[in-house]
A and B are shown apart, each in its own frame.
Chain A
Amino acid sequence: MQFIYLAGLLVGITGMAIIDWRHKLAFWYDAKRTALTVATTVLIFIVWDFLGIFLGIFKHGNSPYQLPFTLTSEFPLEELFFLSLLSYCTLVIYTGVSRWRSRI
């Protein structure tokens, strides 16, 4: 039960990776460039997240679908995967749509 959220995120990441692989959009286009882009974006979001935590805006939900611990204050492990999914998703969608638009 506790792994449901994390599992959902991993399904999302895997799905985007399959689209990426199939159309050679991001990681399968230029692995280093993808890694740098996603890693930097995730880092920026981590700072953004901690800003929200520091200001007291976010609270960890403690639902039965999440892991029962946080890495630090209100920051759960799943958040790292969510931010990676968001960043990777944006990149794959952006490169995919750009290529599609440049061909029609």
Chain B
Amino acid sequence: MTVILGLLTRRVSKPSSAWWITLLVLLTLTLVFDNLIIIFGMVSYNPLLISGIHIGKAPIEDFFYAILACSIVPILWRQFAPKNEKKEL
């Protein structure tokens, strides 16, 4: 999906250090809150269809939400920049 978006916007550059920090923050938040909502029973998974790898109670697949968000948002943010400001962020 990110590859498709990158190709559509024709601008995929090397991730900045800010991007890595953002990713780290999001992964940490996901780790904490995903485990919480699973412990509180708000969502459950079909154990046959997931890989079985967990970090705490969170399936590793859930971390892809954070990775996907981190990949998509900066691309879109740049994509929707006003014309006179295309080089920003």
The chain A residues found within 8 Å of chain B, CB to CB, are 5, 30, 32-33, 36-37, 40-41, 44-45, 48, 55-63, 65-66, 78, 86-87, 89-91, 93-95, 97-98, 100-102
Contacts and interface: CB of A to CB of B under 8 A. Distances in A.
Chain B's interface size range is 35 or more
Which 4 pairs between the two chains have the least Cβ-Cβ distance? A63-B41, A98-B18, A90-B69, A97-B18
Contact of B68 (A37, A45, A66): A45
Q: Is the interface of A mostly helix, strand, loop or mixed?
A: helix
Interface of B: 1, 16-19, 21-22, 25-26, 29, 37, 40-46, 49-50, 61, 65-66, 68-70, 72-74, 76-77, 80-82, 89
A58 to B, nearest CB: 7
B32 to A, nearest CB: 12
A93 B26 contact: yes
A78 B70 CA distance: 21
A41 B76 contact: yes
Contact of A60 (B22, B43, B69, B76): B43
